[in-house]
Amino acid sequence: MANSLPARSKVDKRFTWDAESVFPDKGGWEQAVDTILASLPDLAEFKGHLGDGPDTLADWLDASERAHRLMAKVMVYTTMSYSVDVGDQVAAARTDRARTVAAQLSAAASFAVPEMLAIGIPKLRGWIANTPRLAHLAHYFDRLEKLQEHIRSSEVEELLAQASDPLATALSVHGVLANTDLKFAPAVGSDGELHEVAQGTVAALLTNPDREVRRTAFESYADQHLAMRHAMAASLAGGIKRDVFFARARGYASSLEAALEPAHIPVEVFHNVVRTFRDNVGTWHRYWRIRREALGLEVLKPYDTRAQISASSLKVPYEQAVEWIAEGVAPLGEEYVRVLRKGAFEDRWVDVYPNKGKRMGAFSTGAMDTRPFIFMSYNDDIYSMSTLAHELGHSMHSYHTRGTQPFLYSNYGLFQAEVASNMHQALTRRHLLATKTDPAFQVAVIEEAMSNFYRYFFIMPSLARFELEVHTRVEGGEALTAEALNKLMADLMLEVYGSEVDVNERDRERVGSTWAQFHTHLYANFYVYQYATGIAAADHLVQRVAAGDQKAVESYLAFLKSGGSMYPLEGLRMAGVDMASPEPVEAAFATLASMVDRLEKLTARERSSAHPSREP
């Protein structure tokens, strides 16, 4: 078969992430697990004694940090080995074991927050003022005070922690089905050439200039998910019920409140995204028309919505992508660029290319005591460059946070995370549009921008609407079936397609399977809306940063360094954007509309130069 993937063992080590820097071998991982388990009795000895005095509390925090920092390394190593080869059953077993140990550690530490609240926030603040070892805890205790009505007794907290392991099974099942059990038929080009369809290749195939490659890849990928739809629906129902269970166990009115309130984000921020999205679907309808005309098609099908408009593809090797990204983010400073280049080239942050068994998607991972690693499947095109820019944004965010904050604040919320990633994409895009004047190149960059908007301002808001509806149904006692989920998803997608995308009944089913194709996102309670807020915040900030406004650069870097030491909205206000207002999301849709305008002008110019129809 043409375009088949290599086995993991055949991938050049230079383009794999450096797992040995986390643990030199599997024995190191095992030793770390044993150390964590051996620490559990020591942690238990603190139970009932945190109120003895500030030094005891400080000792507890030190002991807890040691165990949790090691646990974080264990989880990172586990993720690294399993993600690159989901057929590796030894790695799968390690993943299950790590999740169990994490739940045991969480249960062992679950008494701490209720005990601290029993001491009383005023007394704890007094300890902070007089105990240097506790001086960094002011924001942490402020968070606890705001959430104390949702924190249960130590016995209940321990039970909830223990329940986290079995209740995560739904996500695991969906992931195994998608990444291991699904077997996709190859895509077939108009020339009869076969192309392997896999989690690491499908995105590139759906942008292929050959319409037959796109159609057959779309059908192969969707049909296999439809074949598993009942099992996947049962898994998703389990995941949604988990969310509802935890929300009710903690006394929240809904799963949405349970997701947003701990991060101190008003629920209106979520509703602003959905409302603004629905108000702007007309921009998408116009875009589909322009895309159809640019492609020279009589009708636009679902598998044409990401098709490459340019007559020839823009090849972007990995090394070139890193260079362009580095040039794009140059306004953030020489040291910023130095760290990024070193991570991408020398320190092996990135697991670059697809291989057999590699799971779908892209993500940044890591912990306080590891490098900020990146997982992806690079395909030598501008879309892969965009993904790399996105994930490098996450990793540079982590680098700055972990290099600045104590362990307690070394993690940040998803709301902040998507700002840094989208900022990288926006800066890189602006740089290329400003420096590459060739019309074909400009079209390719705008296509990348529209691909990004497609994911973050079409798919993700649609999934957010889907997520809200399915949670509401479960909260109301309704059952979730594959047919109901597919119908709901198809209705939401076709609202954005409008009359411009031709969808027959069979393709409606395939489009409806979009929920099943997101194997982790819908199991992270109300996560997906934050892609839209992230791109909106980045779009709001990028102009001043790109212009070299030193104050804007400094405030943005301060935001990256703040990590979990501030509430998300406060950190973004420091950077220069108020996400409690609908204005940034509305402005981002205005940017989307301007990109559509620009694409229309460029493609009209190309058509006036006798661009031939490419409809077979």
- Active site positions, annotated: 391
Contacts with 204 (C-beta within 8 Å, 6 or more apart), sequence order: 379, 381, 383, 384
Cα separation of 223 and 346, whole Å? 41
Reduce the DSSP state of residue 149 to 3 states and report it: helix
DSSP secondary structure letter of residue 479:
-
* DSSP per-residue codes, 172-211: HHHHHIIIII--PPPEE-TTS-EE---TTTHHHHTT-S-H
User: Which residues are CB-contacts of 82 (< 8 A; sequence separation ≥ 6)?
Assistant: 88, 91, 92, 94, 95, 359
Integer Cα distance of 80 and 351 in angstroms: 9
Distance CA 22, CA 18 (A): 8
As a whole number of angstroms, the distance between CA 334 and CA 322 comes to 15
User: Which amino acid type is present at position 603?
Assistant: T
Tokens of 177: 């089905």
Q: Give the DSSP H or E segment for 351.
A: strand 350-351
- The phi and psi torsions of 278 (rounded to 5 degrees) equal -65, -35
CA gap 398, 389 in Å, rounded? 14
Q: Give the list of residues 6+ apart from residue 41 with CB closer than 8 angstroms, or none.
A: none
- Computed over its alpha carbons, how large is the radius of gyration of the chain? 24
Q: How far apart are CA 421 and CA 522, in angstroms?
A: 20
**Contact 33/365 with Cβ under 8 angstroms?**
no
